[in-house]
Amino acid sequence: MKSTNITWHDSKVTKEARQKQKGHKSPVIWFTGLSGSGKSTLSVEVEKALYESNIHSYRLDGDNVRHGLNKNLGFSPEDRKENIRRIGEVANLMSDAGLVTLTAFISPYREDRDEVRELMDEKEFIEVYVKCSLEEAEKRDPKGLYKKARSGEISGFTGIDAPYEEPNAPELVVETDQQTLEESVASVINYLRENDYIDA
Ligand SMILES: Nc1ncnc2c1ncn2[C@@H]1O[C@H](COP(=O)(O)OS(=O)(=O)O)[C@@H](OP(=O)(O)O)[C@H]1O
Ligand SMILES: Nc1ncnc2c1ncn2[C@@H]1O[C@H](COP(=O)(O)OP(=O)(O)O)[C@@H](O)[C@H]1O
C-alpha cells in the first residue's frame, strides 16, 4: 500500500438502501473458465435476461477491459494477477452501487479469485465455473487463438502452456460442452432466483 494519510468517508446511502430501492440484490457473478468455454456468450445472455426483467446489471469482459482500464497489462502471471485484482475492485464498487455485476475473465489462478471473494460481503460473490473440456474449447476456437498457441505464434496461452486452476467450491458449475446455451443461461437465472438474489 503506497498511499498514506488517507481516510475513509462513509456515505449516507447504504448498499442495502440501494438494493431496496432497486428491488434486487447486487451480487458479483464471476464467470471463470478456459478461453472458448463460453464466458462471454453466457454473460451476454444472462445480462440480457436480467435487463428484460428490469434488473440493473452490468458486464465486465476480459477482452473489453483490456482495451481500456487494463491496457497496460499482458498475460504474465503477475499481470493476470493485477488484472483480476483491478476487476475485483471495480466489480466490488459496482456491487456497492446496487448493480448485479457480471464478470467474464479467464481468471486462471484460484488464489486471485479467492482474493476477490474476500473483498466482497459474504454471499455477494457467486463463482460460476464455466466448465468445458480443453478439447471442445479448442475445437470451437472462436478467435483462432488456440491455433496460434499450438503453432507457437502465441506463448503462455491458458490451457496450452499456461495453467488453469479449476475452482474447488464454486457456487455453480455450468457444463457448456454438455448443455445448450439456453440451458446454461437458465441454470444461472435459476440459481439467482432460488437463492433470493432476484424475485422468483
Ligand atoms: N496468452 C493468452 N492466454 C489467454 N488468453 C489470451 C492470451 N492472449 C490473448 N488472450 C485473449 O485475452 C482474453 C483473456 O483475457 P482475461 O483478462 O480474461 O485473462 S486473465 O483472466 O487475465 O487470465 C482471452 O479471451 P477469452 O477467449 O474470451 O477468454 C483471449 O481472447
Ligand atoms: N452452453 C454454452 N454456453 C456458452 N457458449 C456456448 C455453449 N455451447 C456452445 N457455445 C459456443 O461456445 C463459444 C464460446 O465462446 P466465448 O463466449 O467467446 O468463450 P469465452 O468468453 O469463454 O472465451 C461460442 O461460439 C458459443 O456459441
pLDDT digits over 49-105, tens only? 999 999 999 999 988 899 999 999 999 999 999 999 999 999 999 999 999 999 999
CB 169 within 8 A of CB 125: no
pTM here is 0.97
Contact criterion met (CB below 8 Å) for 87 and 112: no
The domain made up of 22-192 has a fold known as Rossmann fold (3.40.50)
Measure the CA–CA gap between 12 and 23, rounded to whole angstroms: 19
Per the annotation, does 155 bind a ligand?
A: no
Q: Which residues are catalytic?
A: 107
Pocket test for ligand 1, best of 87, 145, 147, 155 (most atoms within 8 A of CB): 145
Whether the complex's predicted ipTM surpasses the cut of 0.90? yes
HSE-CB of 122 using CA atoms within 13 angstroms: 0
156 annotated as belonging to a binding site for a ligand = no
Interval between CA 163 and ligand 2 midpoint (Å):
20
Q: Which ligand sits nearest to residue 139's alpha carbon?
A: 2
Residue type, position 52, single letter: E
Question: What are 198's three cell numbers?
Answer: 432476484
Distance of CA 181 from the midpoint of ligand 2 (Å) = 8
Dist. CA 133–CA 177, nearest whole Å: 7
